[in-house]
A and B are shown apart, each in its own frame.
Chain A
Amino acid sequence: MRRLDIVSGATLTLLGLITIFVIVPNQISGSSEYGIAPDVFPLTLLWTTTFFAALLCVSRLLKKDTQEERTPLPFREIKFVAVIAVFLAAIVTIIAYVGFIVGGIIAIAVLMFAMGEYRHWVRLTLVSVLTPAILYLVFWKLFHVPLP
């Protein structure tokens, strides 16, 4: 946990500082006539986040903890979440530009395949095709929610 705390603390500190000095001045404007300016709360909370993130990083650096536990986030898991993030982004794009049914079919088929369902390809095909189609019809006919 120690090494991860150092890395995540440092990353959060950096992100916090970037947000404070670049994003907030860009994205928040205006002042208040008789109250508190719009950027006071966001900045206070950001400074709090950044302060504790830095504290996390520093306190773990100072603590010479020799008995390192198994790291809870090995590299292959980082690779996995990166892949799944890209995958979900792709699915959202497909849903936005092609449609929910196509995106849904691909999402279920790929996930089931990855989870070992290729052994039961009939089940894989049926579930991946039927689920989005049924969902689409139910949402539209019953609830008037037009999935794209």
Chain B
Amino acid sequence: MDQIIAGIGDALTLINILYVALGVFIGIFVGAIPGLNAPMAIAIAVPITFYMSPLAGIAFLIGINKGGTFGGSIAAILLNTPGSPEATSTAFDGYPLARQGKGLKALKMALYSSVFGDTFSDIVLFTVAAPLALVALKMGPPEMTAILIFSLTIIAGLAGKSMIRGLIAAALGGFLSTVGLDIETAEPRLTFGFVELDDGIPLLPMAIGLLALSEIIIQIENHVLAKERDTGSIDVFSRDVPRENKAVSGREFMGCFRTIIRSSFIGTGIGALPGIGAVVAGFLGYAAARRASKNPDEFGTGKLEGIAAAEAANSAVTGANLIPLLALGIPGSLSAAILIGAFLIHGVDPGPLIFKEYPRLVYGIFGAMVIANILNFVIGSFGLRFFALLVRFPKSVIHPIIVVLCIAGAFAIGNTVFSISIMVVFAVLGYFMRKLDFSFATFIIGFALGENFEISFRQTVILFAENPAELLTHWIALGFILLTLFSVWRILRRGTN
């Protein structure tokens, strides 16, 4: 108990609060700018933490991570261009709302649900990290395979107008995830001799191109081919905007409450399982909300619930990502893997012993996370006003700058021109996918789940090839397979009606 109080006391020192505030600010900032994002900023900032105390350094990085989860939604809502990949599903309903003049309302909903989802998963981390991590450990190759198959059924909810096009996009995404060194033989697959592709097509440059730059290209096109005069500067503050379009009422928030809770659970679950990530969580939360809704057709036309579903889910991943890290010493995501480095720099090895060896530090970090959530809310509230002002610049200035920011951001991932090329290729692909209505949500899901699915499946085959009957004793895996069959049956039945 003394340690808990001491730790929280450490977190409450002015210097630590300032570092957290700086981190949250940087996070919101890089999150909001298309082309830059939080994992990138964390990777770049780790070396800076060399010179800070362990608590300050880690609190700073966690601040970046948390700020980034909300920041991404700003550009998604105001420009239809996700500032970070995980905010893609926020744009589905956020941008239509902004066009109706309800931009500020959408931003606030995003902020509230983001902070709520984040806090929810932090509480899970503080209270049941150890048992939850043990459950996650039990997920071996067969269980992971089954869970991933089940997750693939959400493609149905995200395919857009045409199921066939959605499936094509998903299969294509899955195919592209097989690029890189083969997991078993270590021989290159489809790399055309580029060493840069050995680790697979890098997700971040691909996502920046596919999700952000392609949209910017389309908006530039509309401008150049004069399909639209400069209507772009959506004014969210002016006095003509009625008050109810600028704020989220308590009733509106409570109306989305079930969705927010559902998405928080989904995000927390995905965060606790290594290797899936916030982008998929956002899509999953969105698709689940749509499936549960009485009026699924309203999604995508500017429904507050859609924003809540996406933001709560992708933000709930951040806290839960630390569960396997702190309880087992196993990172659950790229950001968490980089955080391990930040711990190690200070001589702290996160793992099963961290609660025994460094209780004060751990509780200090927990304290810092709570502070970060509060600051995220405060800085976010002011920040969204600032960014909303930026949108009032003419598009002919903003868009060219975003193009160059995307280029610089793509380069910073791995310090190579190669990732700029990747981004450009996927921007052009994304352009056609948007125009021809091939769902890029299913594409990203195919890509993100494809690699994990292949690995888990092949591991299962290797482990059980001699004795397949043993698989029948894996009841968790069987349960998920049954769930999958049930959902497919439901989708098919709905389809024939």
Contact = CB atoms under 8 A, between A and B. Distances in A.
Interface-centre pick from B162, B188, B403 (highest chain A CB count, 10 A): B403
A22 B268 CA distance: 43
A52 B168 contact: yes
Contacts of A35: 184, 458, 461-462, 465
B408 A115 contact: no
B367 to A, nearest CB: 28
Interface in A104-127: 104, 107-108, 111-112, 114-117, 123, 127
B382 interface: no
Contact of A85 (B165, B192, B428): B428
A80 interface: yes
B154 interface: no
Contacts of B436: 4-5, 8, 72-73
Contact of A91 (B164, B167, B407): B407
A115 B399 contact: yes
Interface string A47-59: 0110011011001
A45 interface: yes
A52 B175 CA distance: 14
Interface-centre pick from A31, A59, A127 (highest chain B CB count, 10 A): A127
Contact of A27 (B191, B221, B454, B461): B191
Interface residues of B, number: 60
A89 interface: yes
A52 B164 contact: yes
A77 B395 CA distance: 19
Interface in B349-395: 395
Nearest to B185: A30
B421 A92 contact: yes
A22 to B, nearest CB: 12
B185 A32 contact: yes
A88 interface: yes
Nearest to A79: B225
Interface in B403-431: 403-405, 407-408, 411-412, 415, 417, 420-421, 424, 427-428, 431
B276 to A, nearest CB: 18
A145 to B, nearest CB: 5
B221 A117 contact: no
B171 interface: yes
A92 B404 contact: no
Contacts of B399: 111, 115
A41 interface: yes
Contacts of A144: 44, 47
Nearest to A47: B171
A96 B411 CA distance: 11
Contact of A108 (B192, B395, B401): B401
Contacts of A49: 168, 171-172, 175
Given A52-B167, A80-B225, A111-B400, 8 more contacts: A36-B461, A45-B174, A46-B175, A84-B220, A88-B428, A104-B408, A112-B397, A144-B47
21 contacts: A12-B168, A27-B192, A28-B187, A32-B458, A36-B457, A52-B164, A56-B164, A56-B168, A73-B435, A77-B435, A81-B432, A84-B217, A85-B428, A92-B424, A107-B403, A111-B400, A112-B397, A115-B224, A116-B396, A127-B401, A143-B412
Interface of A: 1, 4-5, 8, 12, 23-24, 27-32, 34-36, 38-39, 41-42, 45-46, 48-49, 52-53, 55-56, 59, 72-73, 76-77, 80-81, 84-85, 88-89, 91-92, 95-96, 100, 103-104, 107-108, 111-112, 114-117, 123, 127-128, 131-132, 135, 139, 143-148
